[in-house]
Structure 1
Amino acid sequence: MTPMLSRALMPLLLMMTALGTQAMAQSQPIALGEIVVEADGAGLNATSVRSTAGSKLAVAVTQVPQSISVISRKQLDSSPGPKADAALRYSAGVSTQTYGTDADTDWFYVRGFQAEQTGMFLDNLSLYQYSFGTFLVDPYLLESIEVLKGPASVLYGGATVGGIVNYVSKRPTGERFLTTETGINNLGNAYLGIDGGDVLADGDVSYRLTGKLSGGGWETKNARDLRGVVQGSVTYTPSDATSITLYGTYQNVDLDHTSTGFLPFIGTAVDAPGGVRIPRDLNYGEPAIDLYQRQQYTVGYEIEQELDGNWTVRQNARYAAVDVNEDNIYSSGFNALAGNQLVRDRWAHHTKAGILTVDTQLVGQFATGPLDHTLLMGVDYKNYRHEAATSYTGNVGNLNVRNPVYGIPFTPVTLNPGDVTNMQQLGIYAQDQIRLDEWILTLNGRYDTANTTIQGAKTTTRDENHFTGRLGLGYEFGNGLTPYVSYATSFNPTLSTDPAGIPYRGETGEQWEAGIKYEPTFMDGLITAAVFNINRNNVVSPDPIPGNLTRQSPVGSVNVKGAELEALANVEDVTIRGALTYLEAQVTRATGTTELGKSPTRIPTLTASLGVDYNFTDNLDGLTVGAGVRFLGDSWADEANTTKVPATALFDVSLRYERDDWSVALSVSNIFDTSYVSGCNGLNSCGYGAGRTATVSLKKTW
């Protein structure tokens, strides 16, 4: 362990020691069950301590030997917006919007590793993404968001070693309800949402319908969007032992150029010669030709059948598809010595992607002597298909960043058919959570077989088989303190290809983690702390800059050491949420000498956040005021580690008033409108973070 990491961990270790001393000193231990802690009145949930992300079972997060963050529906309501990645800003171990305010893609890193491509899940089923075949999930459709940190392959198959983000959809509640909501932000972007459900007279069938329509301005000038999404679900429960849910979603997005990313370092993070800065709201596209159209849908089912009092069989299946048309101008360089000119390229594509996932599980509870077992056995299958026709044109015309003039003539684009990629993966897995008094032993094993086929000028294929496992041990004190230690491995097949078009070997990885989870008995809250060491092998270097998407180069291996601290609690009328993350990342094996021993880009060494809400009582009952601060530490902008993206601090405020069935809220993120760069993937690919965004909303429960 390096001296720097030791110094960073010292406060964390001291806090863990203090928590342990306090917990041991309590005179009357209380056995914890699977408690859901909630605040009274207008406060946020202190925590949603039940999660399925870490075990595929709805258990307390304290029983999972890995760190888990849960963003509840109340937390999502406190910061409304169209992007799910913005909801993760106050979570430990997560960096979001690393390419700026990109309206068509959610960007997030978990424990220093890019996760939105292979680490995005919806209802515990993969939403695998590749190139521009991305899926967008509107947070209005969600009940919560779960972040499982560290390897997840033992449960989900292919997934990045840093962790996964699992979106949990709204489902029928078995009750009649209706809520309507509307709002608008300072950019002129407004929305209208409706969420309602009911149960039929006999009580066997319940349904829920959720829809949202939004549109208006974005961060850049002359940028507009129009979005519509609807989600419906029906649950049939003919008996207490049987549940069948059918669901589907449809989304349509039409937007103009709304990106503040893919800009040069000089002119954004630092001044260009002459003191020139590229304006954050610069629309560097061509409004006359900018095109982005997305259609996306999902259909699926969830079936659960209780066989007897101790055994249950479940099957979840879904097909998700997306169709994206894009014709946009992107930045590719800046020359402030030649008239403040931003060099631009044209990138167009028509991408279709679809993924079929099926997960079948058998869950049972039994005892062998003094040992209590919760056994999960399953088999899952994933079939992903991606095809794209593309066109890339370099240097289509410069733009003066101080006096932009649009209207350069463009000819209709001709798309060139590209490769058709297909990946199939079949996995067999088992998990046994064994309890002996207060001891919890978690054993996982999984065997995967994967096939990747690339059909282009020639057909290439790669077959792989891999075993992954997890071993975790925890001790659950009766006063709410649970220390644990775990070891887990991962496997992640890749669609990246070498210059000959042959798929690279799948990534592998491993993680050691030790931590503590504390649910105090004297207040509503959850405090978690962890230290970890992650190795990621067979890494290739993805580059989302247009024109460099399919042929990538191997990097080798990356190691990340780190520590996390996260807390969410209600103390009387105050709700507190805080997070602290420290990361040391290093390329430990590389094909070249540039990256070896260096840190990958876009990984801040230190991030932290603290938010406080105060819930008034008496004459001001129903009023909640909140304030928060987010610190984003510096990160390397280039692979050679010669240039750093500066650190920044951002401040948020909120105001909410609830009375009877009405609520009105105002939330302002980055209230001082601080201009900053959220991250760079090289000196010509940086992204501005979001400026001040103020949203006022009105909600009615009928």
Structure 2
Amino acid sequence: GTQYQDVTLGESGFYDYARGYDVATGAVLDDSTWINVFDPQYGNIPPASEFTYAASPDSTTEDLGLYINDQISVGNWRITAGVRFDDTETNSGTSSQSDDAVSTSVGALYQFDNGLSPYVSFAESFDPVIGTNGRGEPLEPQEGEQWEAGFKYQPSDFPAMVTLAYFDITQSNLNDPSSLVGEYQQKRGEASITGVELEGIVFMGDLSLELNASQLDTESAEGYRLASVPERQASTWLTWRPGGFEGFKAGAGIRYVGESWDGIDQLRTPSYTLGDLMIGYQTGPWDLTLNARNVADKEFQATCLARGDCFPGEARSVVGRVRYQF
């Protein structure tokens, strides 16, 4: 038979934003004015008369979204479809901007009796961009389209699940300063992201093993690789829950993050590999867990930007968590 699952929902948002800043006018900002984070000396502050305070007008954004999703089961077919309407309005104090769009999504999956389920899907996105193009014209909203195809496999005689997906994403209405000489901002640029993702989990008695890997190929509106987006990533995580010691759990994992670029293909951030550990105990509604990330306290650069600066990666961190589930 045919089964329908309809959900109609609405949402709204209200955002209020204000900012201000001080600008040094006549002060001589020599080395004594700055704070050395390794040897801080406080109190050497230029007089307030040397600063000019500037405040931007308040900016208010209201968003209303209405959407409907439908999931249909016909035999071995699983079909999903949805449509969404967004309406946003922003008042910056000096100007107002209104944007609206209709976004759609659709997908189909077929479940074979052997546990293999190929699928394909399509989805659209809408993201308002507040501001003008330098000529007093509001910026067009950024839009996106994603095609995805792949398969899920869950064997009937073995506790495992594998998903392999290929996706192709196009982002449009992006800034593209190289398209027209003399233009401040244009909305004709397009960026593309294509990639392959592999996810898997397998249960082996007291052990469970998770595997994840991805390969991305990105191109910005200017023809460069997207900034700070690793081309390759992979991770694995092993969890142990011994049957003879109910409630105890321990885990270990490895994360690999491939090299990334600065947005203009000049500065390369090298790849790095990190290790993580976990230990915990769960009894009744209580869950106590201790997580350690980057257990070797490895020093690495997380990302480097085109302007020339790099950001160090997260040092070793140990976080304890106590959770009570009602």
Confirm or deny a common fold (TM above 0.5).
yes
1:611 alignment partner AA: W
Deviation string for 1:453-503 (max 9, x for gaps)? Answer: 321xxx223333322211211112345432210111111112244446754
1:487 aligns to what?
A: 122
Q: CA deviation at 1:621?
A: 5.0
One-letter code aligned to 2:200: A
Q: Tell me by how many angstroms 1:532 deviates.
A: 0.3
- For residues 579 and 613 of structure 1, what CA distance do their matches in structure 2 show? 15
Q: Percent identity?
A: 25
Q: Does structure 1 retain, via aligned residues, the 8 Å contact 2:118–2:150?
A: yes
| TM-superposed deviation, 1:521 | 3.4
Identify which of 690, 693, 697 aligns with 2:314.
690
Partner of 1:327 in structure 2?
A: none
Q: Paired residue for 1:672?
A: 296
- 2:211 maps to amino acid: G
Cα RMSD of the aligned pairs, angstroms, is 3.2
Shift in alpha-carbon separation, 1:697–1:462, aligned structure 2, 3 A:
closer
Amino acid of the structure 1 residue aligned with 2:191: V
Give a deviation string over 1:26-73, Cα, whole Å, max 9, x none.
xxxxxxxxxxxxxxxxxxxxxxxxxxxxxxxxxxxxxxxxxxxxxxxx
Q: 386, 396, 415: which is aligned to 2:17?
A: 386
Distance 1:421 1:569, change over 3 A: farther
Per the TM alignment, residue 433 of structure 1 is displaced from its structure 2 partner at its CA by 2.0
Structure-1 residue corresponding to 2:181: none
Q: Under a length normalisation based on structure 2, what TM-score does the superposition of the two structures give?
A: 0.81
The 1:664–1:534 alpha-carbon spacing in structure 2 relative to 1, beyond 3 Å, is: closer
Aligned partner (choices 422, 426, 435) of residue 64 of structure 2: 426
What amino acid is aligned across from residue 381 of structure 1 in structure 2?
A: S
1:631 correspondence with 2:266: no
Q: Distance in 2 between matches of 1:582 and 1:510?
A: 19
Counterpart position of 2:180: none
TM-superposed CA distance for 1:657, in Å, is 4.3
Alignment partner of 1:441 is 2:79: yes
Change (3 A) 1:517 1:498: same
Residues 8 and 69, structure 2, Cα contact 8 Å, conserved in 1: yes
**Cα pair distance change 1:478/1:406, threshold 3 Å:** farther
DSSP-derived class of the 1:611 partner: strand
Number of residue-to-residue matches in the alignment? 311
Quick one: structure 1 residues 397 and 439, their matched pair in 2 at CA, closer, same or farther if it must change by over 3 Å?
Answer: farther
Deviation at 1:675, TM superposition (A): 0.8
Contact 2:208 2:239 in 1 (8 A): yes
Give the drift of 1:505. Answer: 0.9
Residue 381 of structure 1 and its aligned partner are, at CA, apart by 3.1
Mark the runs of 5 or more structure 1 residues left unpaired by the alignment: 1-369, 542-551, 590-595
Provide the rounded CA distance (Å) in 2 between the counterparts of 1:680 and 1:401.
22
What are the residue-to-residue correspondences of 1:115-126 with 2, within 5 Å? Answer: none
Distance 1:437 1:693 in 2: 50
Which residue of 1 is the match for residue 214 of structure 2? Answer: 581
Matched with 2:179 is none
For 1:383 and 1:480, the matched residues in 2 are separated by 45
2:240 corresponds in structure 1 to 614
Q: CA deviation at 1:647?
A: 0.6
Alignment of 1:179-578 (within 5 A): 370-392=1-23, 396-398=29-31, 404-407=39-42, 409-410=44-45, 411=47, 415-455=53-93, 459-499=94-134, 503-540=138-175, 553=185, 556-578=189-211
Aligned twin of 1:205: none
Say whether the 8 Å CA contact 2:164–2:196 is kept in structure 1. yes
Contact 2:125 2:143 in 1 (8 A): yes
Q: Which amino acid aligns with 1:418?
A: S
**What's the CA shift string for 1:493-549, capped at 9, x where partnerless?**
1224444675411111101100222344345554322110000011249xxxxxxxx
Question: Which digits, 9 at most, give the CA deviation of each residue in 1:327-346, with x for residues without a partner?
Answer: xxxxxxxxxxxxxxxxxxxx
Quick one: structure 1 residues 580 and 501, their matched pair in 2 at CA, closer, same or farther if it must change by over 3 Å?
farther
Residue 646 and residue 446 in structure 1: after superposition, are their counterparts in 2 closer, same or farther (change >3 A)?
same
1:251-293: CA deviation from partner (whole Å, max 9, x where unpaired): xxxxxxxxxxxxxxxxxxxxxxxxxxxxxxxxxxxxxxxxxxx
> Which residue type is aligned with residue 677 of structure 1?
Q
1:121-136 matched pairs, under 5 angstroms: none
1:418 to partner: Cα distance: 0.6
Structure 1 residues 586, 404: CA separation in 2 closer, same or farther (over 3 Å shift)?
A: same
| 1:655-687 CA distance string (max 9 Å, x none) | 334568877654321111111121233334432
Give the structure-1-normalised TM-score: 0.40
Shift of 1:631: 0.6
Matched to 2:68, the amino acid is A
